[in-house]
Amino acid sequence: MSRLVPTSVRTSVTWRVVAVLVVPLTVLSLWIGLTSENLQNSELGALYRTYHSSAPMVIGLFWWARRPASRMGPLLVAFGFMCWPLALVASTSPALFSIGVTMQSPTFVTMFLLILAFPSGRLRTRFEVAAFAGWYLIDVLAAGGNLLTYPGLLSLTPLGLCAAECPPNPFAMGSAREVVDLLGWVEFWYAVGAILGTLTLYLWRLARASRPLRRELITVGLTSSLFMIIVVIFYIGTLIISIPPETAAALSVLLILSRVLFPIGFLIALFQADYYALRAGGRLMRELAAGSSPERWRDSVSSAVDDPSLRLGFWEPATGRYREPSGAGLMAEPGRTWVPIERDGDPVAALSTDPALADEPELLEQVAEATLIAVVHGDLEGELRASRARLVEAGDAERRRIQRDLHDSAQQRLVALRIHLTLASERLERPEERAAIEGLGEEIDAALDDLRSVASTAYPPVLARMGVSAALRSVCRRSALPVMIIDAGLGRHPEAVENAIYFVSLEAIQNAAKHAGTAATVRVELGEDGEGVTFSIQDDGTGFEPGGAVRGQGLTNMADRLASVGGRLSIETMPGRGTRIVGRVPVVAGSVAHA
Amino acid sequence: MADDSLLIREAARQMLGATPGIDLVAICADGTELARTVEQHRPDVVVTDVRMPPGGDDEGVRFAIDARRIDPHMGVVLLTQYAEPSLGAALFEGGANGRAYLLKERIGDRAELRAAIEVVAGGGTVIDPAIVQQLLATPRSRRSDPLDELTSRELEILAEMAEGKSNAAIAQSLVLTKHAVEKHIGSIFQKLELGDEQDVSRRVAAVLVYLSKD
């Protein structure tokens, strides 16, 4: 099982502490809200405000466990903690109430932080960090100023409206109204700028994102911007311009709903990543089933994660390095994401990707597993072909041995015998005795012919000496087959390849002569191009039904023999139109041909 | 005489040793011994196996080609186990004079063997009939094969010519007049576009080259 990152976070102490805290905090928040007499809609409000803190906490914990490398989880949890004091708005205690109200604006700022930090949980540029630091500073000053100067703070959020008069503010000390109001206005305009900046920055990132990330950015963008837009409209409507109460009520419902949706957007993004990762994995597996090569696999993976810069290397035990299909070495580099893929602790392959993909661990995991299977499968494929090739080679070696043995021993004996017979016949006086011996001599001549024929059927010497064309010509000549052989420039190739082409062609020719009818002529074309050898055997005989023919043992053998050298066989036939068998064998550049 | 098989050497010794007109000077077992013995004895004709150590499949042919440099008048009879024309084509690229290409079992035919030795000693050329048969028997790949234009009589004469027979010998073998044979040969050469050639061995070479060009 390949593992990108250890899943030990779930058992980390911090996580467990937080998980344990969630329950009492939730209960406490609910209790405060439900027992309150301070506000209108206390039950609904209690649920709403508890949701503010518990939902991000739970979603944050979930995110934290699923993507341990991302700080988004802890950030969401922190946001949840920050939202908890909002529940205090329901308290009758003036102090707690005031704190609750004061916490509203910092949580508002933090929401924008969450949007921009998604999905890594970190702000990308110094500029963003500075901007948010400034915003928090101004907010603390403004809200703190309010807390210290205003005699009574008002709770104006939906489901948070005071039932009667809101409790007074016990923290109010001096009265520096002008300063505080100024701060308030500064914050207001800063916030406007910050919100617009967030929007722009977000859209820009969206445009530049890879496909997988873009989907998640859109989801979060939608859920968040919905809330933003409605907040803006709501506050402008209620604080700046006066809108009719029915509109205000409708807006507050919308506000509540969008606020509920806000943390869920992050959850949906996580499920999206899962879903698309599985889809990508499925697609890769289909491509694998259809057959792939190392180069094509790299391209498939690259398009699955939408990273054109992706590099794939396979482990080479001999050198202890990863090597790309092109032959270049592959190593982890700073500024790129490195994904090692292993099996039972042994390295198998590795990916070097755009650093943005570090935010898509589910996708990388799927792709890594698919690659692992591809490599294992590839090994199997290679092993299968190697064992087939060995079988064929053993068969060919046996043939050559038979041919050699026949020539070296049996034939020599018969030739010597023939000579001795002649010598013996010369010693005889009577013509009829001589004739008898001569008859025996002729038998031996016939035997020698047979021997030659059998030996060359097993393995024709011309094949090794002069190549496929000459060998085919020779055998057709000898068997008086009506074959026209056209050599369009077929060179020499490794023995196994030439053997395969020769024996497959011969079988095809013999089939044609047998089945295509007496009047048929057979046309054999041999040629090669830069990529490999192509040969075809065509007859204009009776042909056969393409689907109907049972794939005889002969055809299967031919296909197998070609496959053992990496070649493919195809057959085209129509009744009455003859048959055409085409074989193609790719040739590796630089392979050693016959000496 | 050279051959790497003991059986053949023994049988050949008996055959050649008792053939009138032929004086068996030495028998060798491989190419190195052959080269040394030829150097020493300077025979008129060498009868050798095509395939033997140390050179393997080409030892005999290589010897025949080298021999032309050493002693241009020495004839070489090459014995092969394969009735495969193309394997012997290399032999004739070095020039067909004084060279013969026979199937090994021809040793068993005293008359044929002696005839081949004598022809080769005189600078002529002989090709085993079985091999010639191979060349002529095939349907060929060229679309308009001039061989098709030859009459059957002409084909017969072509075969005999390829076997190295002189016009007189062909006339005798096919029961024709020498004049008729010459006329046919002229027609053959014209149809095959070979150019008239009186020298028998060059004729044979031309015909062989033509025939083995598939």
Say how far apart CA B103 and CA A75 lie, in whole Å: 94
What is the DSSP track for A413-469?
HHHHHHHHHHHHHHH--SHHHHHHHHHHHHHHHHHHHHHHHHHHHH--HHHHHH-HH
What pLDDT score does A449 carry?
84
Alpha carbon dihedral A243, A245, A246, A247, in 10-degree steps, equals 30
Whether A420 sits inside 8 A of B5 (CB atoms) is no
- B43 pLDDT more than 50: yes
* Residue B82, number of CB atoms within 10 A of its CB: 24
Give the minimum alpha-carbon distance from B24 to chain A in angstroms, rounded to a whole number.
Answer: 16
What is the rounded average pLDDT of the residues B71-80?
88
Residues of A whose CB is below 8 A from B110: 422, 426
Complex ipTM tops 0.85? no
Cβ–Cβ < 8 Å for A183, A86: no
Contact B146, B191 (CB under 8 A): yes
Give which of A477, A481, A526 to mutate to test B binding, by max B Cβ within 10 Å. A477
Q: Do B138 and A477 touch (CB under 8 A)?
A: yes
- Confidence label for A51 from pLDDT (cuts 50, 70 and 90): very high
Closest Cα to residue A522, out of A487, A483, A478? A483
For A7-35, write each residue's pLDDT tens digit.
555 568 888 888 899 999 999 988 888 88
Cis check for the bond before B54: say yes or no (omega within 30 of 0).
yes
CA distance B73 to chain A (A): 28
**Shortest CA gap A553–chain B (Å):** 30
Confidence grade of residue B130 (pLDDT, cut at 50, 70, 90): confident
Residue B196 has pLDDT above 80, yes or no: no
Cα atoms found within 13 Å of the Cα of residue A91, Cβ hemisphere only: 19
Residues from chain B that touch A414, judged by Cβ atoms under 8 A, are 105
Nearest Cβ partner for B82 among A461, A480, A485: A461
The tens digit of pLDDT for each residue in A428-468 reads 888 888 888 888 888 888 888 888 888 878 888 888 888 89
Q: d(Cα B205, Cα A505) in Å, to the nearest integer?
A: 32
Count CB atoms within 10 A of the CB of residue A264: 14
pLDDT in tens, B76-100: 999 988 877 766 677 776 677 888 8
Residue of A nearest to B12 (CA): A419
CB contact, 8 Å: B4 with chain A? no
Min Cα separation A419/chain B (Å): 4
Taking residues A112-117, report their average pLDDT.
90
SS3 letters across A546-573:
CCCCCCCHHHHHHHHHHHHCCCEEEEEE
For residue A309, the tally of other CB atoms under 10 A from its CB is 10
Per-residue model confidence (pLDDT) at position A2: 34
Q: Which of B15, B81, B138 sits opposite A411 (nearest CB)?
A: B81
B195 or B93, greater pLDDT? B93
CA geometry: angle A242, A245, A247, nearest 5 deg: 85
